[in-house]
Amino acid sequence: MPVGTLGTVKALDPEDLQRSGVEMVLANTYHLFLRPGDDVVRELGGLHRFMAWDGPILTDSGGFQVFSLEGLRSVDEDGVEFRSHIDGSRRRFTPESVMRIQRNLGADVIMQFDHVIPGQSDVTASREASERSIRWLERCLAEVRASEATGHRSQATGSAESRVTSHESPQALFPIVQGGIHPQLRKDAARVITGMSDWHGVAIGGLSVGESKPDMYAMLELLHPELPADRPRYLMGVGFPEDLIEAVRRGVDLFDCVAPTRMGRNGTAFSSTGRLNIKRADFRTDPRPIDEACDCAACRRFSRAYLRHLYISDEILGLRLLSLHNVHFLVSLMRGARAAIQAGTIDSWASEWLDRLASGPEPQT
């Protein structure tokens, strides 16, 4: 899932996403709550119509964002009080309020509100946060069930002209398995959570936040047999091509990361032989596309020389084309992973890709 923080995947048009084969996007509850406001999105017919994206949308719970507001928030059992990064105003998230906000936004998949802690927290802090996250999950689930029972649904009705299909099916609540890099905490959380409900999917949180790669892989491996085999597993906040490959071979189905668009806006392009810095001096007259193996709308039409020129000249089109290429690259990579799984060749596919990515692009001349 490319990340559409504020209801737009930065620098890209929904059409760019569709044509790159993107099936699902993520949007951020914290950011949309502050601007334009979940009430505004609701009034305009929900997030699908607002951002003209007819495919599935997942909204996060805002937990990661508010816990990142170091010094601007206080936590208790009820929820989190924080100050808006925009205007400093005092706000409060609780499991219940976050469910209501996500209902207003109207995504297809909504995330539980969880207690997020730093990546290398000790076992005591990790246990407390994991257990609180599970108590909050119970409150999220109760809130969702209560609102479904009373027939509340995310979309405003009839307030805005129908530009895209409105989505009236119930929202799928995903729980988040926490527990840091502590095997027993992870197992305990997985067992309690999977016992609570027949979830549509399960998320794995608190990884890719500063721990070592072997620690992350170990957590994925021990969770593999603990999670339902027939439901998607979503590894939050990951990642780069190498991370996606390593996680897919350990059973993960769904990812989100700002990397493809953020790196694109910073002038870095993924390629099948590693990353390219588009600013490289020797690209000044390079007629080749970013990646000869890529068929994205940037690589089909434009040279490295042109993209370098756009980037150096601060031209907006350059930001869009590099973002588009990077998103297309990751989606194509995951399409390849799916085909390899179906063909029973995921391990050799993964090894080949990791070798190729590690070989690096041609050196600067």
- Kindly state whether residue 45 participates in binding a second copy, applying the rule CB under 8 A: yes
Site residues (CB under 8 A) for a second copy, limited to 69-108: none
The reply to whether 38 belongs to the active site is no
The reply to whether 16 belongs to the active site is no
Amino acid present at 99: M
Shortest approach of a second copy to residue 105 CB, angstroms?
13
- Kindly state whether residue 169 participates in binding a second copy, applying the rule CB under 8 A: no
Query: How far apart are alpha carbons 329 and 268 in whole angstroms?
Result: 13
Query: How far apart are alpha carbons 172 and 184 in whole angstroms?
Result: 27
**What is the per-residue binding string for a second copy in 5-24, x denoting contact by CB under 8 A?**
-xxx-xxxxxx---------
Q: Report the first-to-last Cα separation within the chain, whole angstroms.
A: 35
- One of 68, 121, 194, 303 touching a second copy (CB under 8 A): 303
Query: How far apart are alpha carbons 237 and 217 in whole angstroms?
Result: 15
- Kindly state whether residue 280 participates in binding a second copy, applying the rule CB under 8 A: no
Q: Give the relative orientation of helices 213-223 and 241-248 as an angle to the nearest 10 degrees.
A: 30
Query: How far apart are alpha carbons 208 and 205 in whole angstroms?
Result: 9
- Kindly state whether residue 135 participates in binding a second copy, applying the rule CB under 8 A: no
Query: How far apart are alpha carbons 255 and 246 in whole angstroms?
Result: 12
- If phi over 0 gives left and psi between -120 and 50 gives alpha, with beta otherwise, what is residue 343? alpha
The angle formed by the CA atoms of residues 102, 107 and 110, to the nearest 5 degrees, is: 60
Between 10 and 250, name the residue whose CB sits nearer to a second copy. Answer: 10
Query: How far apart are alpha carbons 266 and 200 in whole angstroms?
Result: 36
- Kindly state whether residue 281 participates in binding a second copy, applying the rule CB under 8 A: no
Residues binding a second copy: number (CB under 8 A): 44
The angle formed by the CA atoms of residues 279, 283 and 289, to the nearest 5 degrees, is: 105
Between 9 and 216, name the residue whose CB sits nearer to a second copy. Answer: 9
Q: Which of 60, 114, 188, 243 is catalytic?
A: 60
- One of 70, 77, 161, 230 touching a second copy (CB under 8 A): 161
- One of 50, 82, 270, 349 touching a second copy (CB under 8 A): 50
The catalytic residue positions are: 60, 256
Which residues contact a second copy by CB under 8 A?
6-8, 10-15, 35-36, 40, 43-45, 50-52, 159-161, 163-164, 284-285, 287-288, 297, 300-303, 305-306, 309-310, 312-313, 315-320
